[in-house]
Chains A and B, each alone.
Chain A
Amino acid sequence: MAKIPVQFTLNGAEKAEFFDSGTTLLNALRDKIGDTSPKGGCHQGTCGACSVIIDGELRLSCLTLAETCNGAAITTTSGLSQGGVLHPLQRAFLDAFATQCGFCTPGMIMAAKVLLDHTPDPSRDDVVEALSGNICRCTGYEPIIQAVLTAARSNSQNAA
Chain B
Amino acid sequence: MELRKSYFADQRKDDLHEIGQPRPRSDSPGHVTGKTAYFADRNLPGMLHLKMVRSPHHHARIRSIDTSEAQVHPGVVKILTAKDVPHNVYTILILIQIGPEDETVLADGKVRWKGEAVVAVLAETERAAQEAAAKVKIDYEVLPAVFDMEEALKPGAPVVNEYHGRNYYLYDSGECRKVRFGDVEAGFAGADHVLEQTYQSSPIEHAPTETTGCIVAPEGNDRFTCYTNTQAMFFTLDNASIILQMPGNRLHFVGGTVGGGFGGKVDVIVEPIAILGAKLTGRPVSFIYSREEEMQISSPRAAEKVVIKDGVMKDGRIVARKVTGYTDAGAYSRHSPYGAQKGAGHYPGPYTIPNVWIDTYCVYTNRTPSSAMRGFGVTIGDFALEVQMDKLARLIGMDPLEFRFINAYRDGDMKAHRQPTEGAALIECMQEASRAANWPVAEKFMAMSSHAKGA
Residues of chain A whose beta carbon lies under 8 Å from any beta carbon of chain B: 30-31, 34-44, 46-47, 49, 76-78, 80-81, 86, 89-90, 93-95, 97, 99, 101-106, 109, 135-138
Contacts and interface: CB of A to CB of B under 8 A. Distances in A.
Nearest to A20: B125
Interface string B289-310: 0110000000000000000000
Given A101-B259, A103-B210, A78 B34 contact: yes
B209 A47 contact: yes
Contacts of A135: 209
A44 B291 contact: yes
Contact of A109 (B32, B37, B207): B32
Given A42-B291, A103-B38, A103-B260, A80 B33 contact: yes
A138 B260 contact: yes
Contacts of B25: 97, 99
A76 B262 contact: no
Contacts of B249: none
A94 B28 contact: yes
A35 B27 CA distance: 19
B6 interface: no
Contacts of B29: 86, 94
Given A30-B43, A41-B291, A137-B262, A105 B31 contact: yes
Contacts of A44: 291
A137 B34 contact: no
A69 B442 CA distance: 69
20 contacts: A30-B41, A34-B43, A36-B42, A37-B35, A39-B38, A43-B290, A47-B291, A77-B32, A78-B34, A90-B33, A93-B31, A97-B25, A99-B28, A101-B260, A101-B261, A102-B36, A103-B208, A105-B32, A135-B209, A137-B208
10 smallest beta-carbon distances between A and B, as pairs: A37-B34, A102-B31, A103-B259, A36-B41, A78-B34, A90-B32, A99-B31, A77-B34, A42-B291, A41-B209
Interface residues of B, number: 32
Contacts of A78: 33-35
Nearest to B211: A41
B32 A93 contact: yes
A56 B407 CA distance: 61
Contacts of B38: 36, 39, 103
Interface string B25-55: 1011111111111101111000000000000
Contacts of B208: 101, 103, 137
B33 A31 contact: no
Given A44-B291, A93-B28, A137-B262, A39 B33 contact: no
